[in-house]
Structure 1
Amino acid sequence: MNRRRNAGIGLLAAMLSGLLVYGLFQLQKLQVTREETVEVVVAKQFIEAGRRLSEADMTYKRISREGYEKEMIIDIGQAVGMETVVPLGTNEPILGWKIDRFHLLPSRAEATFQIPRDYIRSISNGIRAGDKVSIYLSGGSESSKRMFEPLVTVASVKSSSNVEIDNMKDPNLLSLAEGDKERMYASRRDANGMIEYINLNLTESQWLAIDGYCKDGLHQLVIAYSPESLQLEEEDHS
């Protein structure tokens, strides 16, 4: 009886010892894997250019340390609220240059249109590149109305000499050349000057609607800075 008990205890001890050795092996293997790999942020699925990224669009993936590049994002929080400059493939590591908070290029479904001056009744002077604006239709026999429910992105605003309105004390172009995007954005918002030309990122259907109403001269646009734009900026920075 004692022999059977001792044999059982020996077998159990051997099994526990084996499990302990296996567990240590797995821990060592995990440690080696962590030392040889880096966890980076990747796109969960294909993401088109011009898309604002949310946490649900991204996940983490381990890649070999040899394949790691400094431009790769390693914290999802750094990419949330940013916009894609180029399309991202499924499981593709997200590089810093592929996303931009102050992205002014049109999205995949848009193009940048310069709005003819005779199409415009008024533009809020505080509008700067990167702002979101509301477009209203005025004139004709019908009541004035908001043309598009979604806000429209301003690509650029220019003076009568067709020069980008800028802050002369801290020029936007200088900030751009130095790669200081925060200062570049600030200089655009602090710029002073009368807006004569405005470029908007519009879908084809939006532009055709504007052109259809305004080309006969009976209707004009009122372009207004929207308080909804400020709310979106606060959400981006929260």
Structure 2
Amino acid sequence: MNRRRNLVIGTVAAVCSIAMVYGVYVLQVRQISLQQTVQVVVPKDFIRAGAVITEEMLELKPVFTAALSPSMVTDKKQLVGKETVIPLGRGEPVLAWKLNRLHLLPRPNQATFQVPKEYVLSISNGIRAGDQVKVYASSTDGGGPRKLFEEEITVASVKTSANVEIDNPKSSNLQSKAEGDEVKMYLSRLEANGPIDHINLNLTEEQWMTIDRLCSTKKTKLVIAFTASSLAGEQ
């Protein structure tokens, strides 16, 4: 009986020892993995907002794997040619959301058109550069009001009569948008630096010709409306 008991105790002790050794091994492997580093992209020097990134502006810097964020960029080529939405600090890992692919520029099938003031009946005061807007036609020839385009249109810029881009000087709308701060975006639209006098839209040739054909008769004018998708941070 004692012999059998000793055998059971020995077996249990051996299993416990193996489990302990394995546990220590797992902890050591985990510790080593946490101490491993990965190269992430950082600016060589301070980069201002609105700058177009070139490869010469960037370098790689090691960070611990445990500190790696999904938004950190590990390949410099992913950033070349993009525009900084907010300033980038020297040596700080670049986060993907801080850059855009020149989103205020027209797409390959588009051009930026300044809409003549005589074509416009009204513009929502809250519109800012980079917003998505809906364009409606208001006619006096019996056609009545109607949506001119089904898709939303990107605003390239909105300016005052002094040719100054409309924004809140204390809190940039584009910066708040990049940070995903809807409250700041909302507040920035309440403290603009002037009324909208000129608006530039990124349009296809067909869209512009539709606008010009309708509005040049002076019987149709545009109503340009702000959409909630702009506050949702969509780029």
Q: If the TM-score is normalised by the length of the shorter chain, which range does it land in?
A: 0.5 to 0.7
Structure with higher helix content: 1
| 5+ long unaligned stretches in structure 2 | 41-60, 72-78, 84-93, 177-183
Give the gaps of 5 or more residues in structure 1: 41-64, 77-83, 88-92
Q: Which residue of 1 aligns with 2:26?
A: 26
Q: 1:66 aligns with which of 39, 42, 62?
A: 62
Residue 156 of structure 1 corresponds to 157
Q: Which residue of 2 aligns with 1:48?
A: none
Relative distance call for 1:113 and 1:5 in structure 2 (3 A) is: farther
Alpha-carbon displacement from aligned partner over 1:138-182 (angstroms, at most 9, x marks no partner): 124312112245544432123456x12457xx858xx88xxx945
Correspondence list, 1:27-106, <5 A: 27-37=27-37, 66=62, 74=69, 86=82, 94-98=95-99, 105-106=104-105
Q: Offset of 1:25 from its aligned partner?
A: 1.1
- Are the counterparts in 1 of residues 113 and 203 from structure 2 also a CA contact under 8 Å? yes
Aligned to 2:123: 123
Q: Look up the match of 1:12.
A: 12
Supply the distance in 2 between the matched residues of 1:107 and 1:15 (Cα, whole angstroms). 68
Number of paired residues? 182
Q: Check if 1:133 corresponds to 2:115.
A: no
Percent identical: 39
**Cα pair 2:106 2:112 within 8 Å, conserved:** no
125-134 or 8-17: which moved more?
A: 125-134
SS state at 2:104 partner: coil
Per the alignment, residue 190 of structure 1 pairs with 192
Listed one character per residue, the Cα deviations across residues 65-86 of structure 1 (whole Å, up to 9, x for unaligned) are: 8257xxx98387xxxxxxx995
Q: Secondary structure at the match of 1:14?
A: helix
Looking at structure 2, the residues matched to 205 and 36 of structure 1 have their Cα atoms a distance apart, in angstroms, of 55
Q: Deviations over 1:48-107 (max 9, x none)?
A: xxxxxxxxxxxxxxxxx8257xxx98387xxxxxxx9959xxxxx84353259xx86258
Matches within 5 A, 1:155-234: 155-160=156-161, 163-166=163-166, 181=175, 186=188, 189-193=191-195, 195=197, 197-202=198-203, 206-207=207-208, 209-215=210-216, 217-225=218-226, 228=228, 233=231
- Cα deviation for residue 191 of structure 1 reads 1.3
What is the CA deviation profile of residues 104-154 of structure 1, one whole-angstrom value per residue up to 9, with x for unaligned ones? 625858654322334323334554434443321012431211224554443
* Between 129-138 and 25-34, the greater mean CA deviation after superposition: 129-138
Contact 2:166 2:193 (C-alpha < 8 Å) held by counterparts: yes
C-alpha contact 1:129 1:188 (8 A) present in aligned 2: no
What is the TM-score normalised by the length of structure 1?
A: 0.53
